[in-house]
Amino acid sequence: MADSQDRNLPASERKIRRAREDGQVARSRDLSHLAMVGGGGAVLLAATPWLLDASQRILLAGLRFDARNVARPEAMLERLGELTLAFLAILAPMGGVALVLTLIASLASGGWNFTWKPLFPKFGPLNPLAGLGRMVSGDHLGNLVKSCVLAAVLGIVGTSYLYTHLAQFHDALTMSLPLAMTHTGQALVSGVGLLVLVLLVSAVIDVPLQRFMMARRLKMSVQEFKQEHKELEGNAEVKAKVKARMREMARKRMFAAVPGADLVVMNPTHYAVALKYEDGQMAAPRVVAKGADLIALRIRDIAKEAKVPVLQAPALARALYAHTELEQEIPARLFSAVAQVLAHVYQLKAAWAGRGAMPADLPTIEVPDDLDPHHGKTAEA
């Protein structure tokens, strides 16, 4: 595989699509942390009255003592189950909110991408050498340094806030429980706000950074680009061989149609066009074979072997070769010239069959000047 230093081409759409199918998407953990802490803190702040009321009720229920329950050993388990369900009733909505916020943060950073491939077992990561290489890679070290810096900044901000507001937490010891909980909650909101601000700055930096690192990991070398082009377009050598094979097959079919033609028009060796006309079935004569140079000579030889008339009409041969395709009728502007040639051929065939005199030599066939590609040039040798 090409070395990473040789990968200087941006990733193609196909490689990006395949990377997403493999689960490789630019995800920002800092954005998820921001959504969890910031969004979760906002939800907690909005639900503070409800949470305080529920917490007080659970605390009162947990501290209530009933002497009748002492005689029943299972009473403790029943009370524990009740309190557990009460706590879950509080935690479950908070967990659902955290899950939704995490999904929103993931969609914001990398978009929707669903695939099962990351769940399949991969034994490559179990290779210690490969793992060591990933540990010392630039991306891994960069993420490690970024995480360490973020943790240090959060620790410094949190410690500084607790140190400067330590007196507020001491004051809570002198208050009643409901008032102490409210007082402590208000003090924590300000501290969480500072942490959210730090996470916001980190997410603003991390989101484009992760996209840049992903684009760098997916860069392609020239060899990879060529290989992908071959996979998409096909191997050029194989395609050339297939085209050559198709041309050879078409040429064989064309040669096989020459014996059934009515005549071959030549110029006299460079171009050859074989024509066929069936009265009542064709609106105009049709080209069944045409070629230049060696192919023209081959058409002439096959026609002579099959006793198909071969006539020398240079201008007409050039015009037919330039303005017709195989299995297509001749242009309307060449009807008159081809009709003269066909009339001469029919006279020849009648003379060969003993039904008439041998016609004179074929006169010069005139074609429109704009249909003759060699009009105005010197005659061919």
- DSSP-assigned letter for residue 377: S
Distance (Å, rounded) from C-alpha 272 to C-alpha 74?
108
Task: Find where tokens 């009339």 sit.
Answer: 343
Q: Say if CB 261 and CB 291 are below 8 A apart.
A: no
Residue 128's pLDDT band (cuts 50, 70, 90): low
Q: pLDDT tens digits, residue range 240-277?
A: 787 888 888 888 888 888 888 888 888 877 889 998 88
pLDDT at 111: 67
Averaged pLDDT, 355-380: 71
Return the pLDDT at 118: 61
pLDDT digits (tens, 9 = 90+) for 290-318: 888 888 898 889 988 888 888 888 888 88
Neighbours of 4 (CB within 10 A): 13
Residue 273: closest CA among 245, 244, 314, 307? 314
pLDDT at 170 over 60: yes
- From 53-67, 126-140, 158-172, the region with the lowest mean pLDDT: 126-140
Q: In the chain, what's the furthest Cα-to-Cα distance?
A: 141
DSSP label at residue 330: P
Domain ranges of the chain: 25-111+130-217, 254-371
Domain 254-371 is classified in which CATH homologous superfamily?
secretion proteins EscU (3.40.1690.10)
Between the alpha carbon of residue 47 and those of residues 61, 162, 343, the distances in Å are 21, 24, 103
As a whole number, mean pLDDT of residues 76-87 equals 79
Mean pLDDT of the 58-74 span: 70
Q: Distance (Å, rounded) from C-alpha 95 to C-alpha 91?
A: 6
Q: Indicate the range of 237-241, 350-354, 374-378 predicted with least confidence.
A: 374-378
Tokens of 146: 């970024």
φ, ψ (nearest 5 deg) of residue 82: -65, -45
Cα 52 to the center of its chain, rounded Å: 52
pLDDT at position 137 is 64
